Amino acid sequence: MSYQDWFLRVEKELQRLRKEGIQLAANVIGQTLYEDDFYTVSILDKCIRLIDGFIDMLEKRNLTSAGILLRVQIDNCLRTYALYVAENQSEISRSVYGDGKQINKMKAKDGNQMTDFYLRKKLSKIDKRFDSVYKAASGFIHYSEKAFYASVSVKEPNILDINVGHPIRDELDSVLQECAEAFIYFVKFQFKLTIPVVESKNRIDAQ
């Protein structure tokens, strides 16, 4: 399958997820709006904006930016999960207003601070892929070998091919495709984490 054919297939799936995310947000809002709903809806909106940007990055074969967007989507999952384990849910909800504490300064129900390390370790118990993909995607944000090998390759012994600002090498398409599959996976993962909120709202609205 050519990259273009693959892209069209993935774009269709991402557009489907975009619609699903909007519907999920509508279900969170329901008939009665609560403080923590603003928190959940804002993270869903962020996910939808990332989907839009991710499609553009795939079309342009921009591996570096796609990797960064993957890492931000994983962060969406961390923030969604934080609402469930927080000692004080109101404190979490108010963090989106910009005048509250950062989440990593807040405590979970078990007394631990909700740092990214704490949250990803907890999520790794739910999904074993979480920690390894988190670390891999972080390599696109913090300068690492991922940036180096995207720009430098060995064509033959003692000869380097240095690519700065040009389209990525064809052999990196497989990495870009893996990045896209991971992005889709963690969009779905965020939606899965959001379902209990929707179910709770449905019960409240039914009363």
Return the closest-CA partner of residue 197 out of 18, 37, 21.
Answer: 37
pLDDT digits (tens, 9 = 90+) for 27-47: 999 888 888 899 999 999 999
Does position 203 have pLDDT exceeding 70, yes or no?
Answer: yes
Per-residue confidence (pLDDT) for residue 174, from 0 to 100 = 83
The alpha carbon of residue 131 and the mean position of all alpha carbons in its chain are separated, in whole angstroms, by: 13
Q: Which position has the token pair 């959001």?
A: 194
* Phi, psi values for residue 108, rounded to 5°: -85, 175
Per-residue confidence (pLDDT) for residue 143, from 0 to 100 = 45
First-to-last alpha carbon distance for the chain, in angstroms, is: 52
Give the SS3 label for residue 143.
coil
- Domain of residue 186 covers 3-206
- Average model confidence (pLDDT) across the chain: 85
Segments in 60-172 forming alpha helices (H): 63-85, 89-94, 116-126, 129-141, 145-151
Per-residue confidence (pLDDT) for residue 187, from 0 to 100 = 97
Number of domains in the chain: 1
Does position 146 have pLDDT exceeding 70, yes or no?
Answer: no
pTM check: above 0.75: yes
Return the closest-CA partner of residue 35 out of 197, 205, 188.
Answer: 197
Does position 152 have pLDDT exceeding 90, yes or no?
Answer: no
pLDDT digits (tens, 9 = 90+) for 169-183: 666 778 889 899 999
Q: Which position has the token pair 């390390």?
A: 117
Q: Are 140 and 70 in contact (CB under 8 A)?
A: yes
